[in-house]
Amino acid sequence: MRWTEAERLAELRDLGILDSRPDPAYDDLARIAALVCATPVALVSFVDETRQWFKAEIGFGCTETPLDQSICAYALLQEEVLIIPDLTADPRTAANPLVTGEPRIRFYAGAVIRSAAGIPLGSLCVIDRLARPDGLTGAQAATLTALARQLSSLLEYRRNLDHIAIREAEIEASERRFRVMTSAMPQMVWTTLPDGYHDYYNDRWYAFTGVPHGSTDGEGWNGMFHPDDQARAWARWRHSLATGEPYEVEYRLRHHTGVYRWTLGRAMPIRDAEGRIERWFGTCTDIEDLKRAEAEARKLAAVVETSKDFIGITDETEQTVHLNEAALRLVGLPDLAAARETVIADYFTPASQRIVNEVVLPTVRRDGWWEGELAFRHFATGEPIAVLYNIFPVRDATGAPAGYATVTRDLRESKRAEEARDLLIRELSHRIKNIFAVVGGIAALTARSDPAARSFAEAFRERLGALAQAHEYVRPHSPASAPAVKGQTVLGLMRLIMAAYAQDGRERVVVEGDDTPIGERTATSLALIMHEQATNAVKYGGLSSETGRVLLVGRSDGAHYDLTWAEAGGPRITQAPSRRGFGTVLAERSVAGQLDGTLEHDWAPEGLVMRLRVPVANLRF
């Protein structure tokens, strides 16, 4: 065999023999060589790049020599045993320091030690300090060659053992890594033989199921499933074993608590280089929470789809992502595909579009929501649709903005109902005004027929007129029927309402203090509250006696406005009322809900004191 020095050195390195620990097997072979050849020295020598190293030495006294002192290096080039009867007479060795100096060797015979591939690595040699003109006998040479072959076999055997040990260590490490990995996995992990026999489960399987270790090996796993799922899971597993297709099935697995939890079972075949299945690697994943979440999501989706409100979602660019059926019907879109071609602004009339762009969306980005009345447009007819529009941002799982959502209510029915209610209110108000007019007419007729009653009738008509004006404030209003309050103030409104309670030109309700402008909505609420308070005072409180009176004082600190109603001169109060009338409840709700204020009652023995506190900013609405 032809070889290169690089190949020879690579093979020597791969054997791992250089500088290895002493081995009796090599020592024994060297000893046999020395005995058979009747020499005082025998060496198992390996020729390295710069030295020759002795795995075994008998009678030489050292473990290596420099390469320039090596005689074995010449043996590597021989096919048969290299025999040099007299080293001093051979030009290759005559100048060798081991020949010219100590130990003054004279005879050398070496048989080549080769690798399994035939590459020479070293030699089994015998050395004598005396020249041997006859060299070795035929039997000695044959024995030396046979011993060298045994050394070659021993090298391969040791190499194979080393490779096996390395492989076993790798397999053991791989097993450890596999067990560590499967123990760290959140899923239950299992493996089977090619025929499907289960032979491994990780600790998570036993922790989940609570069964003893090894009790589910083989086919015992199927008994862990819900009875209704066993046949389906087993049939799917048999199909995968027969076809080699991946295994995937959902089933209910018995938990250690005794309940069954939904689980996703999966397995993949592991194949060798020829494609044969060596093992199956499988996992079981607890999906009970996911199943519940999906069920809740289906319920929520059903609510969304069956809701009569317009429900929609857009992405960050305001492009429509989803509309429910009610939304599609409300705006006249044929299907969801058409809706996905639209953006938020497309749903509004031009006037509402401006509000959306200039007010609504900036407010949502700043405050996180917006709600108010706007007008959608019907995509087919262009008809405006009055809606209560509510919009808020949608975020993804990380909290990053993902778009917008709306739950919008069609106000057309409520608008029609409001119009009908307003018509009824106006009709009732008209009839009440007619009653005031009739009563006033009766008073005037009485004055004309009875001059003595004239002064009473005039005072009565003035009070009746004041009550009619107060009625305009306290009755329910729509935006169209609300009384004009431009330039009105809180104390101005109070004087207007309380004018009905003057007696003989004397104000029984004295209004004083700090004044402040008042808006339409607040004027109606305050008028209702104070009219109710005055009515109760006439029935039970300070205005129920001739000498009784009320002091109504306004005070402002810049942030809040306080209006104090203090009664005096009426019946003495012994205790607070045990129940609140409808008017009182209505007043309290009006203060809290419409004015964002507070209303307190102090039932002092001398007379009721009521304190109304409202943010100044809210008075202007």
Instruction: Report how many domains make up the chain.
Output: 3
> Comparing C-alpha atoms, which of 300, 309, 199, 215 is closest to residue 256?
215
Q: Are residues 218 and 90 part of one domain? A: no
Q: Residue 482: is its pLDDT beyond 60?
A: no
Q: Are residues 210 and 80 part of one domain? A: no
Question: Do 407 and 322 touch, CB atoms closer than 8 A?
Answer: no
Q: Residue 462: is its pLDDT beyond 70?
A: no
pLDDT at 291: 87
Question: Do 601 and 608 touch, CB atoms closer than 8 A?
Answer: yes
Q: Residue 110: is its pLDDT beyond 90?
A: yes
Q: Residue 587: is its pLDDT beyond 60?
A: yes
Average pLDDT over residues 52-62: 94
Pairing verdict, β 560-568 and 607-615: antiparallel
What average pLDDT does the chain have? 85
Taking only Cα atoms into account, the Rg of the chain, rounded to an integer number of angstroms, comes to 55
What span, in angstroms and rounded, lies between the C-alpha atoms of 37 and 42? 9
Q: Are residues 109 and 224 part of one domain? A: no
Q: Are residues 51 and 132 part of one domain? A: yes
Q: Residue 116: is its pLDDT beyond 90?
A: no
Give the DSSP letter of residue 193: -
What residue numbers bound the domain in which 574 lies?
Answer: 484-618
Q: Residue 158: is its pLDDT beyond 60?
A: yes
> Which CATH number fits the domain that encloses residue 514?
3.30.565.10
pLDDT digits (tens, 9 = 90+) for 240-278: 999 999 999 999 999 999 999 999 999 999 998 899 999
Q: Are residues 99 and 213 part of one domain? A: no
Q: Are residues 518 and 609 part of one domain? A: yes
pLDDT at 166: 80
Pairing verdict, β 401-410 and 509-513: unpaired
Average pLDDT over residues 136-160: 93
Token duo for residue 287:
């999906």
> Comparing C-alpha atoms, which of 214, 200, 209, 220 is closest to residue 252?
209
pLDDT at 345: 93
- Which residue is associated with the tokens 């060496």? 43
Q: What ranges in 323-387 are assigned the alpha helix state H?
A: 325-331, 336-339, 350-355, 361-367
> Comparing C-alpha atoms, which of 503, 440, 493 is closest to residue 470?
493
Burial letters 10-19, b for 16+ CB under 10 A, else e: ebbeebebee
pLDDT at 546: 83
Q: Are residues 90 and 152 part of one domain? A: yes
Percent of the chain with pLDDT over 70: 86
Query: Is 305 inside any structural domain?
Result: no
Q: Residue 331: is its pLDDT beyond 60?
A: yes
Query: Is 560 inside any structural domain?
Result: yes
Q: Are residues 118 and 30 part of one domain? A: yes
What span, in angstroms and rounded, lies between the C-alpha atoms of 563 and 498? 14
Q: Are residues 201 and 150 part of one domain? A: no
> Comparing C-alpha atoms, which of 123, 126, 153 is closest to residue 45?
123
DSSP 3-state percent helix, strand, coil across the chain (nearest 5): 45, 25, 30
Token duo for residue 214:
């090894």
Query: Is 530 inside any structural domain?
Result: yes
Question: Do 587 and 599 touch, CB atoms closer than 8 A?
Answer: yes
pLDDT at 299: 81
Q: What values do phi and psi take at 268, rounded to 5?
A: -125, 140
What span, in angstroms and rounded, lies between the C-alpha atoms of 491 and 597? 18
Average pLDDT over residues 361-372: 91
Q: With bands split at pLDDT 50, 70 and 90, how would you rate the model's confidence at 98? A: very high
What span, in angstroms and rounded, lies between the C-alpha atoms of 54 and 44? 5
User: In the beta sheet, which residues pair with residue 267?
Assistant: 247, 282
Q: With bands split at pLDDT 50, 70 and 90, how would you rate the model's confidence at 496? A: confident
pLDDT at 460: 57
Task: Please state, in angstroms and as integers, the Cα–Cα distance from residue 125 to each residue in 55, 94, 128, 507, following that order.
Answer: 12, 18, 10, 142
Question: Taking the CB of residue 305, how many other CB atoms lie within 10 A of it?
Answer: 11
Q: Residue 325: is its pLDDT beyond 70?
A: yes
Query: Is 234 inside any structural domain?
Result: yes
User: In the beta sheet, which residues pair with residue 112?
Assistant: 123
> Which CATH number fits the domain that encloses residue 228?
3.30.450.20
**Which H or E run includes 13?**
helix 5-15
Question: Do 189 and 171 touch, CB atoms closer than 8 A?
Answer: no
Q: Residue 552: is its pLDDT beyond 90?
A: yes
Q: What is the dihedral of CA 331, 334, 337, 342, to 10 degrees?
A: -30
Token duo for residue 79:
């096919």
Question: Do 191 and 211 touch, CB atoms closer than 8 A?
Answer: no
Given 275, 291, 307, the domain boundary residue is 291
Question: Do 43 and 32 touch, CB atoms closer than 8 A?
Answer: no
Q: What ranges in 475-571 are assigned the alpha helix state H?
A: 490-498, 520-539
Question: Taking the CB of residue 61, how many other CB atoms lie within 10 A of it?
Answer: 8
Question: Do 511 and 453 touch, CB atoms closer than 8 A?
Answer: no
**Which H or E run includes 289?**
helix 288-306
Query: Is 463 inside any structural domain?
Result: no
> Which CATH number fits the domain that encloses residue 38?
3.30.450.40
Given 162, 194, 214, the domain boundary residue is 162
pLDDT digits (tens, 9 = 90+) for 24-51: 999 999 999 999 999 999 999 999 999 9
Q: Are residues 258 and 155 part of one domain? A: no
pLDDT at 82: 94
Most confident of 196-200, 211-215, 341-345, 546-550: 341-345
Given 244, 275, 291, the domain boundary residue is 291
What span, in angstroms and rounded, lies between the C-alpha atoms of 279 and 276? 9
Interaxial angle between packed helices 454-474 and 520-539, expressed in degrees from 0 to 180 and rounded to the nearest 10: 130
Q: Are residues 189 and 153 part of one domain? A: no
pLDDT digits (tens, 9 = 90+) for 186-234: 788 989 999 989 888 888 899 999 999 888 887 777 788 899 999 999 8
Question: Do 104 and 87 touch, CB atoms closer than 8 A?
Answer: no
Query: Is 612 inside any structural domain?
Result: yes
Handedness of CA 506, 512, 515, 521 (dihedral sign): negative
Question: Do 215 and 232 touch, CB atoms closer than 8 A?
Answer: no
Per DSSP, the three-state class of 243 is: helix
Q: With bands split at pLDDT 50, 70 and 90, how would you rate the model's confidence at 592? A: confident
Q: Are residues 255 and 133 part of one domain? A: no
Q: Residue 428: is its pLDDT beyond 90?
A: no
What span, in angstroms and rounded, lies between the C-alpha atoms of 616 and 526? 13
Higher pLDDT, 453 or 206: 206
Average pLDDT over residues 530-556: 86
pTM of the model: 0.41
pLDDT at 469: 60
Query: Is 414 inside any structural domain?
Result: no
Please give the span between the terminal C-alpha atoms of the chain, in angstroms, as a whole number: 109
Per DSSP, the three-state class of 52 is: strand
Query: Is 321 inside any structural domain?
Result: no
pLDDT at 442: 62
Least confident of 305-319, 362-376, 408-422: 408-422
